[in-house]
Amino acid sequence: MRQIIIGNWKMNGTKALVEAMAREVSSRAASLACDLVLCPPATLIAPLVAALGDAPAKVGGQNCDARASGAHTGDIAAAMLREVGASHVILGHSERRTDHGESDALICAKVAAARAAGLTPIVCVGEDEAARQAGRAEAVVMGQLAASLPADFAAAPTGLVAYEPIWAIGSGRTPTADDIAAMHGAIRAALGKRFGAAGGAIAILYGGSVKPGNAATVLALAEVGGALVGGASLVPGDFLTIAAAAAPALGRAPGAS
């Protein structure tokens, strides 16, 4: 399975960044052993799809509504993201859980809506610092997983899970390698228990202060199927350098079948 490197631009980005990122992807992507997904603000999805052209990167949204259409001012339906060229959507990011009070049940409904529209959901889970210090990190993440993933999550379009400890996001701090590996192992076991063999196809990404300097270490860890990158995805050179660190053991040579 190729590792997947996903950029989350959050509420950042301009058309100038779209052009710069497309240029960087076009010049470096052929040498990568991983897949790329870029998630700009919704207004930049169509321009980014156009700027990328045939370059090997997919584009995703950062959120979608659980409903298909209607009188919901300011919200965006999954099918709308799909129509302008998105293939993925981030759901349950901790900033949405905090800023918008999103519950696991709502996230689960959004995942179902995304899947119905043909989007691959990227579901974020992760503990806050208090839970980590209280030794409850795994319990929190297991609870989020159980309640945020619908029963058909492993069926096509197979979803992705991103483990993002809240205290590591944008802070420059990361868990130890042992802690990342332990959490990813626990998530893998939970997915296997719930979805059986099909659960093995669900990639588990790590997110939280992944930078060019630590990407190789993180991406070499057991059960790390890629990275969800925030701040560093706003610097095209840094984002592609992170992608270049994708673990060769999990990747495959460009062009290989």
**In the annotation, is 100 catalytic?**
no
Annotate 11-73 with DSSP letters as a single string.
Answer: S---HHHHHHHHHHHHHHGGG-SEEEEEE--GGGHHHHHHHHTTSS-EEEES---SSSSSS-T
Residue 164 as a binder of ligand PEP (CB under 6 A): the answer is yes
**In the annotation, is 164 catalytic?**
yes
Least separation in angstroms between CB 34 and ligand PEP: 16
Name the residue with tokens 């919901």.
Answer: 72
Annotated catalytic residue: which of 24, 127, 164, 223? 164
Where on the phi/psi map is residue 57: left (φ > 0), alpha (ψ -120 to 50), or beta? beta
Residue 208 as a binder of ligand PEP (CB under 6 A): the answer is yes
Closest CB to ligand PEP belongs to which residue? 230
Least separation in angstroms between CB 47 and ligand PEP: 22
Residue 252, token pair as written in the block: 């495959």
Residue 228 as a binder of ligand PEP (CB under 6 A): the answer is yes
Least separation in angstroms between CB 69 and ligand PEP: 28
Nearest to ligand PEP of 185, 212 (CB atom):
212
Cα within 13 Å of Cα(48), Cβ side: 29
Q: Which of 83, 102, 180, 108 is nearest to 138 (CA)?
A: 180
Beta bridge partners of 38: 7, 59
Residue among 21, 160, 210, 247 that touches ligand PEP (CB under 6 A):
210
Annotated catalytic residue: which of 93, 127, 184, 223? 93
Residues that bind ligand PEP (CB under 6 A): 8, 164, 169-170, 207-210, 228-232
Catalytic residues: 93, 164
